[in-house]
Structures are given as C-alpha cells and as structure tokens.
Chain A
Amino acid sequence: MITFKKTAVSSLLCTALLSNAAYAEQVEITVSSFPNFNQVAEAAVPLFEAKYPNIKVKIISMAYGDHHNAMTTALATGASLPDVMSVEASYIGRFAQSGGLESLNKAPYNSGEFTDQITPFTLPQATSSNGELRAIPADIGPGALFYRQDTLKEAGVTQADLIKDWDSFIEAGVKIKAKTGNYLLANAVDIKDIYIRANLKNGEGIYFDKDHNILVNSPRFKEAFRLAKAARVAGIDARVGAWSAEWTEGLKRGTISSQMMGAWLGGHLEDWIAPDSTGLWRSSQLPNEAFASWGGSFYAIPVKAKHKPEAWEFIKFMTTTKEIQLLGMKEVNAFPSLISAQDDPFFNEEIAYLGGQKARIEWKASSAKIPTVVMDRYDESARQIINDALEQVLEKDADIDTVLAEAEKQIKRKARRR
C-alpha cells in the first residue's frame, strides 16, 4: 500500500514536472526578414513547428533597406534584436566583420558538420577575417545571361557569338542594333560589374585582397573600364539603370535584348517584367567564361539573441533540409545553397518560359564554378567610388588610368581606419 502510494505520488510528481518542463520549453523565436526572402520562411514555418512542437516562430518583415538599417541599429544598441537575423549578400561583408553575430563554426553550433554540403563559394562571404563563420547561406544567385532568342535570330547572331568573349559580345550588339534597332545591354556598367567579379583567383576580393591591399588600379579594372567604354561608344547600351521604369519597359518590349543578372531574374521576367514573352527568352552562361554571383541570402544569430539553441535549430532546418531549400526555389526562385537540393529531379525539368530550356541544370553547373570571393568591410565604399569613376569615363570621356589612380586614393582615404 505504501509502495503504491509512493509510486502514485512520484509518478504524479513526475508528470507534473514533465508537463511543467514541457510548458517551460515552449519558446517563441523571432525571425527578422525582408521580401521576398521572408516568403520562404513563412512557407516553412508550419513544417518547422510540426517537427519542433516546442518552438513557435514569429516572422517580422520589413522592406529590404529598412530591414538592414534596423538590424544595424539593433546591433549597435544591443536592443530589440531578433533570434534569427536574415542578411542579404550586399550587407553580409559588414555584418560578418562586426563581431555582433555568433561564430557558428564553433561550439555549441559546430557548423563544420554540414558546411561541406553547401555551395562552397558562399561560405567565405559570411566568414570574418579571423576565420569565423558568422552566417549560414540560405540561397545563392548564380549569374546568367538572359537574352531574347527572336531578336538574335532576326539579327543573325547566335548564342555562341554573345558568350565567346567580350569583343565578340560587343560586335554582336552592333549587329543587333543595326538590324533590329534594339539595344543589347541595359547599361554599359553591367560589363564592368561582371568583368571585375569574373575569374578572380580563389581568396581574392573584388576591391581588396585578404591583406586589405586595394586592387582597383590593376589590369582587371582597366580592361573592365575599357570594355564598358567600348560598349558605350558602340551605342549598344540603352543607358538605363536596372529596376528603373525604362529598364522594365525595355525588357518588356524587347528593346533591351539581354540582361546579365542572377538566375532569379528568370522568375522576375516571367512574373511581372515580361509575362507576355513566354518562349522568347533564353538563358546562357555569362560571356568570356565568366562566373559570378548576384545576391544571396544568409541567416545569422546575434550574440545578444535570447533563444540561441532554438534559433540554431531553425537555421539548420532552413538551410540543410532539402525539401525546404526546394520550397524556396519553387516559391520565390531562391536558388538553393544546399548541393543535395540542386540534385533534385526538379532541376531537370524544362522551363516553359525559357522555351523549354533546362536552364536550372545550367545554373547549377555555373554555381559550382563561381570563385570564392573575400568580402571586405569597405566594399560598399569602394563600389561607390568605382561606379563614380566609371561614370567619369563614360560621361565625360576621362582617362581610364587617371580615374583609377584617383579612385585608389579615394578608397585609401575612406578605408582610413583599418
């Protein structure tokens, strides 16, 4: 009788404790994000909560710029930080260097257990200069050249002409302009942007090397500027900036016959830029054997986050689950960073918008060839200075050697507090 009582009491106690423990473990984590990256997380949350019933996920989304400004101020003050922070590729360099984010390749996270399953070029972007991985890539943007098949045909130009090398690319543009009156490029600046990114040696940055030496006064930049100038002189660029009204209208009407950008541009073209052009666009690799990436998104945990273990479960779920990675591709054309997701049969399917082309498999092939690029805290300053220098060359006919030497001086001034 007594033993029975004892067991009864102890079992009661146990259940009480257990239920109490279960109640205490019900944790809500906040995930801050931006459109349309947030759509992937929103679609994945029900699946995540089904797998981890003790974790509830709350997603807060803000506009792209506002989100990153808010995250900068949150990191600055250490207040109102989310548990999981989404970071876009143009901000990852600064955020990863700052020391406000957890080092995920160390205990208790040990991201090393799975990072070999992630497309290699993205990891160094999120790695600080002392080798700490501060964020996990969730999607990538392998670069591709989208072009209008019908315009090329009309002008008697082939895909091979476009991608053989840059001089051939410009020549093809001249032919297209003469035969159809359409521009080949939206802006000559695009050529510079690819040329300075393409074929970097592994471990080299765009503007700075590992030891923070400035690389802009170099043959790579001079050739990039020369090609951009040649394209402008040839009159093959529409002189419009990406995402402007002229740009979308030009792509819609086909007066701009090609655009180099992340593979995700295909989704934008199909969804809203040129929905009526089904079957007219094609995708190919970039000219001159160039491989580069556009954008990409990352997940990080702030050092001052409240629920780090749960946040880490969420990040692992989003970045290493094949189904979720494919979900991102299907939802918002977020190209998976997880290699096993890229092996899915879905990648072999024909894309009707691109005239039945199996473009995903091509994008996968080029993503494997993108070099690892070292990000730098002053990349954004250098980018502005270089764009300004190129405008001097394109608009005011300035001498390339002079402006690049001047740009190097300016970057040195900006990066004065190394």
Chain B
Amino acid sequence: MNSITSQSVPHKAPAKKGNFWLRKGNKIAPYFFISPFFIIFGVFGLFPLLFSLYLSFHYWEPAAGLAAMEWVGLENYIFAFQDDWFQKSIYNTGVIALKSGIPQHALAIPLAFFIHTSFTRWRNTVIGVYFIPYITSTVAISLVFTTLFSRDFGMVNQVLTSLGNFTIADMKVLSWIFPVENIDWTRPEYTKDMISFVVFWRYVGWNTVLYLSALQTIPRDLYEAAIIDGANRYQQFRYVTLPMLKPMAFFAVTLTIIGNLQLFEEPFIITGGTGGIDQAGKTAAMHMYITAFVESDFGTASAISWILFMIIAGLTWLNHKVLGGSNH
C-alpha cells in the first residue's frame, strides 16, 4: 500500500459506507443547525423591516385589517418632512443627543484613565459601581429621577432651596447662585436638560468600561518609552493614550449616536408619554410611537422610522470619516 491511497482512503471511506440519508444528512446538517438564527431573524428581523418599508408607502388604518392598505407613494415621507412636530422632535433628539452624548465621552475617557492608573485592588468594584446604572431597568431609573426632580417634594429642590435660603445675619448669602423657591423641572426650558442628565448618568459607566478595556490593550512599553522621553502624566495621556483609544472611540461614539438618536424610554417615562410641556422632551422615536399607536397612522410612522434610519446611517458614516478613517 503506497502512501497516496492510505491518505485518500480515510477521507472517502465514510461516504462509501454510509447510507443515502447519512450522506445527504452530512450536507444538510450544518444548514439545519444554523437555521434557527435565520428563521428567527427572518421572522422577527427581516420581515418587519421589509414590511415597514412597504408600509411606509401606504396609508393604513390598522384596526380595519390588512385589506385596508392604500398605496400613497411618497406622501407619507413628504408629510413627515413638512410636519412641524416631526421637525421639532428631530431638533429635540439632536439637542438631547449632544447634551448627553458629548459629556458622556468627555468624562468617560479621563475617568477610565483615572480608574486604570489609580486603582488596583478595588478596581473591579469601582467599575461595577459605575456600570450599575447601565444594567438597571430604564423604568426604575426614570421613576427615581422624576421623584428626585419633583417640584414640591423632590430631593433636588430641597437641597437647592436650602442652599439658596442659607442665611448668615439675615442675609441669604447664596441666593445669587441657588434658587430660593422650588424649581418646576417639568417646564419646557428644563425638560431636555433633565432627560440629557439621566441619559448621561446612565451611559457614562458603559462608556467607561469600553474605554477601560481599550486602555488595558495599550502596551506598557509605549508608556515606558514616553517616560524615558521625559513625558509627564498629562503628556502620556495626550500623546499615548488618546491616539491609541481612537478605534474604541469610534466604536463607542457610533453606539452613542445610534442609541441617542433612537432615545425613547427615558423621555417617554419622564414626560409621562406626552413629550412634556410644549413637546420639549419629545424625541423622534417617541413621535414615531405616538403617530403609530395614538394617532393610528402606521404608514407615516413607518416613513418616520426610515427617515430616522437614514439620519442615523448618515451620521454613522460621518463618524467613520472623522474617527474611523485615519486608523491605518
């Protein structure tokens, strides 16, 4: 027996011996085993996606059944673009996204650097504390914050007014910086800030964890080389850490863009589902929900969701240009 046959036989042997179904099964089995994902994705992912695209070109009164769909072409898109409330909700979404998004990263990077360099034994505990808001239920968070920011009975106002009314020799010495009367946080000028604060508070820990994991991959010798070159701690951060964090920053900012533009739960619960006074806290996703389920105009709501998708895709592309492009 030469070497060639001895090598080829073991490969062919099972096929020859196996019956038809076993042979067929060997080919089908892999597809069978990966089919659950495709079936579930098809039913719960792809189909709704395509159906909503189809729906966005129709007028549909859903309670009347599927037969009631009526082709209207681009009318839903045109209506959405011209709708004052939609424009306002896009503006609100943008403002909240910036006000909550920028501080998230501006704080998360130095915080991750600080935790990375200053904690050894308690590091995981500290990270865990910052991460807790991220895994807590949004509903619980929003309820706690609405209680804290309650006008007459909230802790925030109690602290602020007690500082504002702090008196030394009959003079309210701090009244120029702190309020002396309860602030109504539901008023339109505060709504967006309040929502932004909750979103910021919630996701800063998540971003810190992302940046921390990136920090851990930066080789030590880069810092050692920097130290030999005489770099101080700030210079190490500025010229070693920040450039090395860029790929993670791209990833984290992308997640923030997507998450913030789809923001729904926090503003929905904080404003009681209405968007607040003057709709100051109504995000685009909330507007979409209200259009579909309150006004039962599913066609326009689908069009809004696709417009939102295009905006998100555009901004992600832009982010790629800014942060992701210079990676090579």
> Hey, which bits of chain A sit against chain B, CB under 8 A?
65, 69, 72-73, 75-78, 94-95, 98-100, 239-241, 243-246, 249-250, 255, 377-378, 380-381, 384, 388, 391-392, 395-396, 410, 413-414, 416-417
Residues of B within 8 A of A78 (CB): 65-66
Q: What residues of B have a CB within 8 angstroms of the CB of A250 in the complex?
A: 152
Residues of A within 8 A of B59 (CB): 417
Interface residues of B (CB under 8 A from A): 59-66, 68, 79, 83-84, 146-147, 150-153, 184, 186-188, 272-273, 277-279, 290, 293-296, 298
**Which chain B residues lie closer than 8 Å to A95 at the CB level?**
63
> Which residues of A have CB within 8 Å of B272?
241, 243-244
Other-chain contact of B84, A244, A380, A410 (Cβ < 8 Å): A410
In the complex, chain B residues whose CB is within 8 Å of the CB of A72: 62-63, 293, 296
Q: Is the CB of A100 within 8 A of B64?
A: yes
The smallest C-beta distance from B286 to any residue of chain A, in angstroms, reads: 12
Most-contacted residue by chain B among A77, A391, A417 (CB, 10 A): A417
Are A388 and B150 in contact, CB atoms less than 8 angstroms apart? no
Min CB–CB distance A188 → chain B (angstroms): 12
| Known A72-B62, A75-B65, A99-B64; contact A94-B296, beta-carbon cutoff 8 A | yes
Cα A22 to Cα B146 in complex, Å, equals 57
Assembly CA distance A72 to B64 (angstroms): 9
* Residue from A76, A100, A239 whose CB has the most chain B CB atoms within 10 Å: A76
Q: Which 6 A-B pairs have the closest CB atoms?
A: A98-B63, A76-B62, A75-B63, A98-B64, A99-B64, A381-B295
With beta carbons under 8 angstroms apart, the residue of B84, B150, B295, B296 that contacts A246 is B150
Chain A hits for B290, CB < 8 A:
384
One of A94, A239, A249, A414 near B153 (C-beta < 8 A): A249
In the complex, A69→B62 CA distance in Å?
11
Contacts of B153 in A (CB 8 A): 245-246, 249
Q: In the docked arrangement, what's the CA distance between A241 and B273, Å?
A: 12
> A100 contacts which chain B residues (CB < 8 A)?
63-65
Q: Cα distance A104–B143 when bound, in Å?
A: 43
Q: Which residues of B contact A244 (CB under 8 A)?
A: 272
B150 with A76: CB separation less than 8 A: no
Q: Could you tell me the distance between the alpha carbons of A228 and B194 in the complex, rounded to whole angstroms?
A: 27
Cβ contact within 8 Å between A388 and B293: no
Cα separation A98 to B296 with both chains bound (whole Å): 11
10 contacts between A and B (CB under 8 A): A72-B63, A72-B296, A76-B66, A94-B296, A100-B64, A245-B153, A384-B295, A391-B278, A395-B278, A413-B83
Residue on B nearest A250 in the bound complex, by CB: B152
Q: Which of B79, B84, B277 contacts A391 (CB 8 A)?
A: B277
> B194 to chain A: closest CB distance in Å?
14
Q: Smallest CB–CB gap between B296 and chain A, Å? A: 6
- Return the contact of A76 from the options B63, B186, B187, B277 (Cβ within 8 A): B63
Q: A75-B64, A381-B294 are in contact. List 6 more A-B contacts (CB 8 A).
A: A73-B62, A75-B65, A76-B63, A78-B66, A395-B188, A414-B295
Contact B279 A388 (CB under 8 A): yes
Contacts of B65 in A (CB 8 A): 75-78, 99-100
Query: Which residue of chain B lies nearest to A416 when distances are taken between CB atoms in the complex?
Result: B79
- Do A239 and B296 contact each other (CB < 8 Å), given the known contacts A95-B63, A245-B146, A391-B277? no
CB of B155, distance to nearest CB on chain A (Å): 12
Query: CB distance B151 to A246 under 8 Å?
Result: yes
**Smallest Cβ-Cβ distance to A410: which chain B residue:** B84
A414 to B66, CA, bound (A): 22
Q: Which residues of B contact A76 (CB under 8 A)?
A: 60, 62-63, 65-66, 298
Interchain CA distance A413-B86 in the complex, whole Å: 13
Q: Smallest CB-CB separation from B69: which chain A residue?
A: A76
In the complex, how many angstroms separate the beta carbon of B85 from the nearest chain A beta carbon? 8
Partner of A388 from B62, B278, B294 at Cβ < 8 Å: B278
Chain A proximity of B184: nearest CB distance (Å)? 7
| Bound-state Cα–Cα, A295 to B80, Å | 31
**Chain A neighbourhood of B184, CB < 8 A:** 239
Identity of the chain B residue whose Cβ is nearest the Cβ of A240 in the assembled complex: B151
Task: State in angstroms the CA–CA spacing of A417 and B151 once bound together.
Answer: 42
A366 to B65, CA, bound (A): 38
Question: What's the least CB distance linking B295 to chain A, in Å?
Answer: 5
